[in-house]
């Protein structure tokens, strides 16, 4: 193989090597074996997850929503299962100062029709005070139910940035599963879709070939300015917010170092 610039088989900087279709198909088939093993391993983990024990919790503890305080058990809406996303909150921050990662997660969870069809209720919980949460939910245009769990003990309150699952048996409520960190990625399919592309997510931790576009710090593209340029600066907003009416560049994230 030559290395001249007009040779279509040359490995150009930052791009996969160019090959004929048969060679590509052979490499693709080889990777497919590993992908299938990965899928089966995931199925086995899900089977183990279904066999976890559970912990009874107090379903009468009150959370605050549009109608005021309600018992946590009401969030099931008569269903047997409940999945919640626990959304971080920065007290007193303007909309653009709220958590980027949680904004991404909640934005991806705007439609939970298939959960409902399977008999699973869904809600977003956050430790923010309801008088701050309510206008934020209106600004984002969310139609899923949100509740404030300020001062509510775990597992309903407590650490945020997680998916947590509950099971109801009559009046009794049980904790069955919780996951945080990258465990919440299934709720944001954009990440898995980016993993299918040559350049991936563009995060610093990714393993990419030498000479390819390198990622920045993790999650750098979750916040951009009005022109779509990734920035953690004061002109930035969590990416989904730019679709909302009235979203403009800002001068402060308004956090003042506080994170409840």
- Report pLDDT for 214: 80
- Report pLDDT for 4: 44
Low-confidence ranges of the chain (pLDDT < 70): 1-13, 256-260
Rounded Cα distance, 222 and 141, in Å = 19
Per the CB < 8 A criterion, the answer to whether 86 and 161 are in contact is: yes
Q: Is 187 exposed, middle or buried (0-12, 13-18, 19+ CB in 10 A)?
A: middle
Provide the β-strand partners of residue 62.
71
- Report pLDDT for 240: 94
Per-residue b or e along 36-59, where b marks 16 or more CB atoms closer than 10 Å to that residue's CB = eeeeeeeeeeeeeeeeeeeeebeb
- Report pLDDT for 2: 40
- Report pLDDT for 92: 94
- Report pLDDT for 255: 75
Q: What is the pLDDT of residues 19-35, one digit of tens each?
A: 999 999 999 999 999 99
Q: What is the pLDDT of residues 193-241, one digit of tens each?
A: 999 999 998 888 899 898 888 877 777 778 899 998 888 888 889 999 9
Rounded Cα distance, 186 and 137, in Å = 22
- Report pLDDT for 7: 54
Q: Is 81 exposed, middle or buried (0-12, 13-18, 19+ CB in 10 A)?
A: middle
- Report pLDDT for 216: 76
Residue 223 phi, psi (nearest 5): -135, 130
Rounded Cα distance, 66 and 145, in Å = 9
pTM of this prediction?
Answer: 0.90
Helices marked H in 73-150 — which ranges?
A: 100-108, 113-117, 130-140
Q: Domains of the chain by range and CATH?
A: 55-188 (3.40.30.10)
Tokens coding 47: 């089977």
């Amino acid at each position: 193989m030559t290395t001249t610039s007009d040779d279509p088989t040359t490995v150009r900087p930052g791009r996969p090597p160019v090959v004929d279709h048969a060679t590509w198909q052979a490499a693709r088939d080889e990777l497919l074996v590993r992908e299938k093993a990965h899928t089966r391993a995931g199925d086995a983990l899900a089977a183990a997850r279904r066999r976890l024990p559970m912990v009874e919790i107090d379903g009468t503890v009150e959370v605050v929503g549009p109608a005021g305080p309600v018992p946590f058990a009401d969030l099931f809406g008569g269903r047997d299962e409940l999945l919640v996303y626990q959304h971080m909150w920065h007290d007193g921050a303007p909309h653009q100062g709220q958590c980027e990662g949680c904004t991404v997660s909640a934005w991806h969870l705007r439609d939970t029709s298939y959960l409902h069809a399977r008999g699973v209720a869904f809600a977003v919980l956050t430790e923010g005070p309801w008088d701050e949460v309510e206008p934020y939910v209106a600004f984002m245009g969310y139609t899923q139910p949100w509740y404030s769990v300020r001062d509510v003990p775990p597992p309903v309150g407590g650490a945020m940035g997680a998916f947590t699952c509950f099971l109801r048996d009559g009046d009794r409520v049980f904790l069955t599963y919780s996951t945080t960190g990258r465990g919440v990625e299934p709720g944001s399919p954009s990440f898995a879709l980016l993993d299918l592309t040559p350049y991936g997510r563009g995060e610093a931790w990714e393993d990419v070939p030498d000479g390819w576009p390198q990622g920045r710090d993790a999650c750098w593209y979750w916040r951009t300015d009005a022109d779509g340029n990734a920035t953690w600066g004061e002109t930035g907003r969590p990416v989904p917010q730019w679709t909302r009416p009235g979203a403009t560049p800002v001068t402060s994230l308004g956090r003042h170092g506080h994170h409840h």
